């Protein structure tokens, strides 16, 4: 059994980790590989954006989602909320997690020490003016200080302490106060893609239309990609943009059958904190009624590269200076302006080809 720098036993014995760096020789994919948190991001943005439009179906879906209580209770020394001018809305910060649990990934109440971990994380901010939604992917192998456990991969936080420790870790790393948290099971991926009749993605080989299974294989792949996990994150972001664009069309939303399928998918594959209920989601959804989906901003937390920890783990090294800068933009509800001015310094979805 390996140990972290703090001397705490690693929760990953019997759960082999894979390097974030690309490999020269393809390896056999581990059966049951769970797609990353991109799925939940899509589901959550979807339910917020159309909640006011689908009425009783939204109520049904949200009330059917599993709740894991109040994960914020007992977390000390939390960051301050973004400053808000009188009469303005507050930004909403949501932490999205995907679980590759060996027990029920769909029910966070089944959490057990060492048995669950997050395959990836995303920090989403709905701006106070409701004109922008910013999505920052945090590499799952990011080497950070997990409170009480020393230096570890960021996805170890969920294994050691569930949602509360994950929130505490991300807040400590970014200085951004998390308002809500949600967890997803990967099976929603193929269902949502097929509901909209497939998605068309712009790849290095030109546009490709894919059904659910094809899209799943596309976003799973990483060994053939020049930057391994980092390019896979970009593929997932491209899928999210494509599927959201089709989910939010009049054709999709005017079909009762599609709405039922979408809400059923959300209710079976999403778990949320108890405060993110129907009233709050419809309130946010109403405030986003004029949202332009072209104002979805996708980027990856800045890194300096990859490395190896003292105990032999393959890790991702965050660029602390750049992360501090973009974190301040989150803290000040100014991500859109910041990214417009500093896009060349970050790995954004629009900054380079998907492949």
Per-residue pLDDT of the chain (355 residues; tens, 9 = 90+): 444 444 444 443 333 444 444 444 444 433 333 343 344 455 555 555 555 445 555 566 666 667 778 999 989 999 999 888 777 889 999 998 865 443 334 455 554 444 455 666 889 999 999 899 898 989 889 999 999 999 999 989 988 888 899 999 999 999 999 999 988 766 666 788 898 899 888 887 888 899 988 888 887 776 777 677 777 777 877 887 787 777 766 677 667 777 778 777 777 777 888 888 767 776 776 777 677 777 888 899 999 999 999 999 999 999 999 999 999 999 999 999 999 999 999 988 764 445 5
Q: What is the pLDDT of residue 12?
A: 39
CA distance 186 to 44: 14
89 burial via Cβ count (<10 Å: 0-12, 13-18, 19+): middle
Beta pairing class for 296-300 and 347-348: antiparallel
**Burial (CB count <10 Å: 0-12, 13-18, 19+), residue 56:** exposed
Query: How far, in Å, CA of 57 to CA of 59, rounded?
Result: 5
Enumerate the domain spans of the chain. 38-194+249-348
How big, in percent rounded to 5, are the helix, strand and coil portions of the chain? 40, 20, 40
What is the widest separation between alpha-carbon atoms in the chain? 58
For the domain covering 38-194+249-348, report its CATH number.
Answer: 3.30.420.590
User: For residue 107, which phi and psi values (nearest 5 degrees)?
Assistant: -125, 95
- In eight-state DSSP terms, residue 345 is G
For residue 343, the 8-state DSSP code is G
Exposed, middle or buried, 26 (CB in 10 Å: 0-12/13-18/19+)?
Answer: exposed
Q: Output the pLDDT for position 175.
A: 97
Note the pLDDT of residue 278: 67
Task: Give me the count of residues in the chain.
Answer: 355
CB–CB of 135/299 below 8 Å? Answer: yes
User: Which tokens belong to 242?
Assistant: 């494509």
Residue 32, exposed/middle/buried by CB under 10 A (0-12, 13-18, 19+)?
exposed
199 is written with which tokens?
């998605």
**Gap between the Cα atoms of 305 and 307, Å rounded:** 7
- Model pTM score: 0.76
């Amino acid at each position: 059994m390996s140990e972290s720098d703090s001397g705490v036993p690693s929760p990953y014995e019997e759960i082999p980790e894979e390097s974030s760096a690309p490999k020269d020789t393809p390896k056999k994919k581990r059966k049951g590989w769970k797609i990353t948190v991109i799925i939940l991001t899509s589901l959550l943005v979807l339910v917020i954006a159309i909640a006011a439009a689908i009425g009783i179906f939204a109520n049904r879906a949200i009330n059917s989602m599993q709740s894991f209580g109040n994960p914020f209770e007992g977390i000390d020394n939390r960051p301050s909320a973004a400053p808000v001018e009188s009469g303005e809305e507050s930004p909403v910060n949501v932490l999205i997690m995907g679980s590759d649990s060996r027990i029920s990934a769909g029910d966070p109440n089944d959490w057990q020490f060492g048995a669950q971990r997050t395959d990836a994380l995303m920090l989403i901010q709905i701006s106070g003016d409701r004109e922008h939604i910013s999505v920052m992917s945090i590499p799952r192998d990011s080497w950070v200080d997990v409170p009480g456990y020393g230096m570890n991969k960021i996805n170890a936080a969920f294994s050691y302490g569930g949602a509360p420790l994950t929130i505490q870790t991300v807040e400590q790393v970014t200085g951004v106060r998390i308002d809500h948290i949600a967890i997803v099971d990967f099976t929603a991926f193929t269902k949502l893609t097929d509901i909209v009749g497939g998605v068309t993605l712009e790849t290095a080989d030109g546009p490709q239309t894919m059904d659910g299974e094809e899209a799943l294989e596309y976003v799973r792949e990483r060994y053939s990609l020049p930057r391994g996990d980092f390019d896979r994150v970009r593929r997932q972001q491209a899928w999210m943009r494509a599927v959201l664009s089709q989910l939010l069309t009049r054709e999709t939303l005017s079909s009762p059958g599609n709405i039922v399928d979408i809400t059923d998918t959300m209710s079976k594959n999403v778990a949320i904190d108890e405060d993110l209920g129907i009233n709050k989601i419809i309130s946010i959804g109403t405030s986003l009624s004029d949202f332009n989906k072209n104002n979805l901003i996708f980027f990856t937390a800045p890194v300096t590269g990859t490395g190896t920890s003292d105990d032999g783990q393959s890790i991702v090294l965050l660029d602390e200076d750049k992360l501090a800068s973009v974190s301040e933009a989150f803290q000040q509800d100014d991500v859109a302006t910041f990214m417009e001015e500093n896009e060349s310094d970050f790995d954004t979805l629009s900054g380079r080809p998907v492949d």
